[in-house]
Amino acid sequence: MKKLNLDYKQLPLIATIILFIIMYAFGSFRYTGFFSSQVFLNLFIDNAFLIIVAVGMTFVILSGGIDLSVGSVIALTSMIAASLIMNAGLSPWIVIPICLLTGTLIGMGQGALIQYFNLQPFIVTLAGMFLARGLAYVISVETIAINHPFFSYMASGRIPIWGDNFISPSVIIAFVVVVIAVFVAHFTKYGRNVYAIGGNEQSALLMGLPVARTKVMIYTVSGFCASLSGLVFTFYMLSGYGLHANGLELDTIAAVVIGGTLLTGGSGYVAGSVVGVMILGIIQTVIVFEGTLSSWWTKIAIGALLLLFIVLQRVIVIRSKTKKGIISQH
């Protein structure tokens, strides 16, 4: 009988998928109407913006870094979009490229500082977080409501799937981002370079890989995804506000880690991060269906799951090192 060889690094992803199935089954048995295709599709509709920003964060964590600025970039994007459309009267086709360029430049600047000045990603992106949030408040300290027809369509538009089921245009955007990210991560040189840097940056340098260019691009992609997520979030909220997405960077990191990406870098999957976002969404859905629980239970559940997966990752890293030590001895 052939022995099944299972990579220890795949265990977090397998655990994530099993956990999602268990939670969905629990909700289906406990609540009437939970096991419906529209409730499942609503997980994507309500979390499309989080899926997009989690894709960018996945590449950052795969490289062994962190990006704390994404929530603030989302808020800044919403404020730029709202102010340019409602106050300056510009067309969305002009505003959208400006918003995307803003997040991209912030990400590129952070990547350059991290790489060329040898600064810690935590400190640089923390500074970026304060900078972006501060710039959002410079534009306005008040909420700017958006009533433009294009944004209204993106907010309330429904794309029929089958029967009475539907998705929003934002889900299509998120789906396209995920498909592109999966292809880039697993079928391009850039993706292989990201995994190599996360596995061992010094080895990647010795192998002649373009470490500097890749690291700058990683944070540039994260900034772009954050600004695109900010636009989708603006469609969802139909307003710009400096406090939008406050703390969302922590939810994003939690989704990526719960999705099976190792915090030490070098191992993880974009698809796993999507499942991680779905788990966060299903926790919120269960609380809504329960009706008697406070929304703070969402944070408690996410915190417990995050601790569980970090412990699991630590066990995997220790087992991997032990296994390598045994192989080197032989």
Judge contact between 159 and 166, C-beta under 8 A.
yes
| Per-residue pLDDT tens over the stretch 213-237 | 999 999 999 999 999 999 999 999 9
Q: What does the DSSP 8-state code read for residue 153?
A: H
Whether residue 1 has pLDDT greater than 50: no
Q: Is the pLDDT of residue 301 over 70?
A: yes
E strands of the chain, at which residues? Answer: 144-145, 159-160, 166-167, 239-240
The residue ranges of every structural domain in the chain are 35-246+263-269
Mean pLDDT, the chain, rounded, equals 91
pTM for this prediction: 0.92
Q: pLDDT tens for residues 15-70?
A: 889 989 999 999 999 888 888 899 999 999 999 999 999 999 999 999 999 999 99
HSE-CB at 132 with a 13 A cutoff on CA atoms is: 38
Say what the pLDDT of residue 329 is: 57
Pairing of strands 159-160, 239-240: unpaired
On whether the CB atoms of residues 197 and 73 are closer than 8 A, the answer is no
81: nearest Cα among 94, 99, 97 = 99
Among 75, 68, 9, 123, residue whose Cα is nearest residue 240: 75
Using only C-alpha atoms, the chain has a radius of gyration, in whole angstroms, of 20
Buried b (16+ CB within 10 A) or exposed e, 285-308: bbbeeeeeeeeeebeebbeebbee
